[in-house]
Structure 1
């Protein structure tokens, strides 16, 4: 795996976890506090932070997708995973597997040509 793809993957993984945790806090803590106890402090702070962090996540996904030469459809699927609680954690594992499989295929290609 090229160092640029590896660095982009690391940035994506960090952002996927941060955005995933923020979305879970918003969904499991903030929303009940707002609608059951009429306290919107968590929604106001975490919701705003999640919105901005999600934008950063979109940029990291685009950067990784461009470097890994993904189709636009694959990029959009990964981007949408950040909108569903817990899905960003699963998708992070899927994306890491995609990138590592791509790396293994590229490492084997010269062997086939030389053999």
Structure 2
């Protein structure tokens, strides 16, 4: 099964969710230190929606790649910890690429 399209979708959303989570974390610090809620008000709903998209895309990739439940849960939770979605994206990309058969005549 060709996992490349599902992997690409997952990678794009993982990066977007990761960046938004970092911005949201900074916004939360600002909210409580300066009483400025602008960043949280703007980025919070976007991150929440895109995290749901991340969950769907990660679950889809997990189903296609036939990951074990424990690994799947860790990948799903990676969008809730700042910087962890970037780490998860790298691990997932390596795992999926290593599991895909290489075309004939190409180096692995």
**Same fold, TM exceeding 0.5?**
yes
Q: Let me know the Cα RMSD of the aligned residues.
A: 1.1
Q: How does 1:45-64 map to 2 (within 5 A)?
A: 45-64=42-61
The 3-state SS of whatever aligns with 1:85 is coil
Aligned length: 102
Moved over 2 A (4+): none
The 3-state SS of whatever aligns with 2:80 is coil
The aligned residue for residue 14 of structure 1 is: 12
The aligned residue for residue 112 of structure 1 is: none
1:92 aligns with 2:89: yes
How far does the alpha carbon of each residue in 1:39-97 deviate from its partner, in whole angstroms, 9 at most, with x for none? 11111110111011000000000110011011222111101111110111111000000
The 3-state SS of whatever aligns with 1:82 is helix
> How many angstroms apart in 1 are the aligned matches of 2:96 and 2:30?
39
> How many angstroms apart in 1 are the aligned matches of 2:10 and 2:29?
29
**TM-score of the pair, normalised by structure 1:** 0.84
Q: CA deviation at 1:32?
A: 2.1
Structure 1 alignment gaps of length 5 or more: 108-115
The aligned residue for residue 26 of structure 1 is: 24
Larger Rg: 1
**Higher relative helix content:** 1
